[in-house]
Structure 1
């Protein structure tokens, strides 16, 4: 039975998430959506701002999805799963104060939710005018960028090209694999937003080809609240058991500070790529596409988090080299 794709729309307060949601619902795409709108506060307003449509709107306003209403999210999704066939996909708009990590973990760790739904994408909307101040003052604004696979730089008409480039550079420091799109009133092609399969581990690819040649560590600026992105490349085959043990130990001991990690790795004796991705302490692994005959078997890994120990990760990856090789 086909799982139901879910697109998460997130972004700090006032960036344009509801505008984006309305864009999707107003497009002539022939799809039927179930819409979940999460608000912070006892009185729901955002759901009344959603355009009139045939979609069913589910409001959760007991708090952020990232904390008190995670159980509510599972219950809403459980109800939707029983009505499979009545809609094609789910759009989930979070409160501007949400931490997307809990949402991602819900889809990964709750068995019934994982069986019925597939997390297709986390799209984050940022405000081109206020982004520098948002990320300087609010941890949530930073973390929403960290977890995104698509970042929409909205209100691009209100700033000059230099400001857009500065925002893109800031996003890259936090998340080197997200696609970045500039937009006015969140007007972007619908196919940019849907069917991204960004969290399908079997199809995971890095968004930035330059990662293969990237330096091992990219320091975030001071105003990035200590969030940093570390990228690694290795040209020596790895031992899959050693690698798996290292990753599991790393996330168990330091996962609270590791927001996201992902890698496409070359392991000894395997014709396929070994793929991993993690959110905090949660780790998922799978076999990816086979290596091509004329393709360099280069391992690439990215770790994004706060106060990361580069030497620890570098030594752990080196120690995972297959016998007879040195990473």
Structure 2
């Protein structure tokens, strides 16, 4: 096991803070060389643009599916290709899509001979949104939102209850109690902005194959996974510069009306004459737009992805276009 490359899998429902945790890990002073695999549920790739620039290798899997579906074969191929460059990194970090079931992702490391020989699953780390998780869990039904969240929490080796700054202490305790009711063994830590101690999520050796098999002897036989059919993605690309205030005003108005149906939004924009890229992150009616790294030579094209129910592509496109600088 000591000769194998350790792999950490990050899971968590839409907007729980996975990309924020990836950025925290990549910018921390840990001395590791990390290869990052990004997986998205969406029409256009954007997560790679939201990960901070670093020396680490970023590999995108933006095929509109998540790793727990047919794309798992793509993950095996990527892992095989990484073996040819294994001298360039010490460990691998996989950020799954917000709709991924971690079970099939974990199976990947035991169903392929080469992968099992060279890689070791270190831990499944699940992020939980302290503000929205209980509402998501209440959305019952076969293959619904609540089912996705339960699967992600239940299979975790380490659970990070994130965004505790958005709720009071009593709510945090209630969320911890709810999470513990789903997963009785995983260690639970709390965080703001996913700012955890790196030693709490990397190199923890928490995945236990024997424990997993004892809980479900047929675990490796499971392959079927379905997403909530009502959750869809709308990706929009609009070239040009945006009026920052107009964009905030339109988003506020739109989310006041439709925030319950918008589970996740993320975007990248050019704002007025500012040389920096501006990043949009949001979940339901909460959103934030803040400056990031400067634009380089690439075209300044706005990209935004909405994930939710009953999304109106035409209305969303009109709304975004209305925020362009005239």
1:51 paired residue number:
52
1:171 paired residue number:
179
1:196 paired residue number:
204
Alignment CA distance shift 1:66-1:28 (3 Å): same
Alignment CA distance shift 1:77-1:156 (3 Å): same
Could you tell me how far 1:100 is from its partner in structure 2?
0.5
Could you tell me how far 1:280 is from its partner in structure 2?
2.3
1:100 paired residue number:
102
Tell me the SS of whatever aligns to 2:126: strand
Could you tell me how far 1:278 is from its partner in structure 2?
5.0
Could you tell me how far 1:85 is from its partner in structure 2?
1.8
Alignment CA distance shift 1:52-1:278 (3 Å): farther
CA contact (8 A) 2:23 2:51 kept: yes
Q: Distance in 2 between matches of 1:124 and 1:150?
A: 6
CA contact (8 A) 1:105 1:279 kept: no
Deviations 1:145-171 (A, max 9, x none): 011011111010111111111111111
CA contact (8 A) 2:107 2:220 kept: no
Alignment CA distance shift 1:183-1:14 (3 Å): same
Q: Which runs of 5+ in 1 are unaligned?
A: 205-259, 264-276, 284-327
Q: Distance in 2 between matches of 1:261 and 1:149?
A: 14
2:132 paired residue number:
130
2:318 paired residue number:
none
Q: Which runs of 5+ in 2 are unaligned?
A: 140-144, 223-326
1:187 paired to 2:191: no
Tell me the SS of whatever aligns to 1:186: coil
CA contact (8 A) 1:150 1:178 kept: yes
1:289 paired residue number:
none
Could you tell me how far 1:261 is from its partner in structure 2?
5.1
What is the TM-score with the length of structure 1 in the denominator? Answer: 0.62
Q: Distance in 2 between matches of 1:74 and 1:22?
A: 24
1:280 paired to 2:219: yes
1:142 paired residue number:
150
1:76 paired residue number:
78
Q: Distance in 2 between matches of 1:19 and 1:67?
A: 24
Q: Distance in 1 between matches of 2:205 and 2:85?
A: 23
What is the TM-score with the length of structure 2 in the denominator? Answer: 0.63
CA contact (8 A) 1:149 1:178 kept: yes
Q: Which has the higher contact order (CA 8 A, sep 6+)?
A: 2
Could you tell me how far 1:37 is from its partner in structure 2?
0.2
Q: Distance in 2 between matches of 1:68 and 1:201?
A: 23
CA contact (8 A) 1:39 1:46 kept: yes
Deviations 1:38-70 (A, max 9, x none): 001231101110010001110001111010211
Tell me the SS of whatever aligns to 1:85: helix
Tell me the SS of whatever aligns to 1:51: coil
Q: Distance in 2 between matches of 1:182 and 1:176?
A: 16
Matches within 5 A, 1:107-118: 107-118=109-120
CA contact (8 A) 1:101 1:279 kept: no
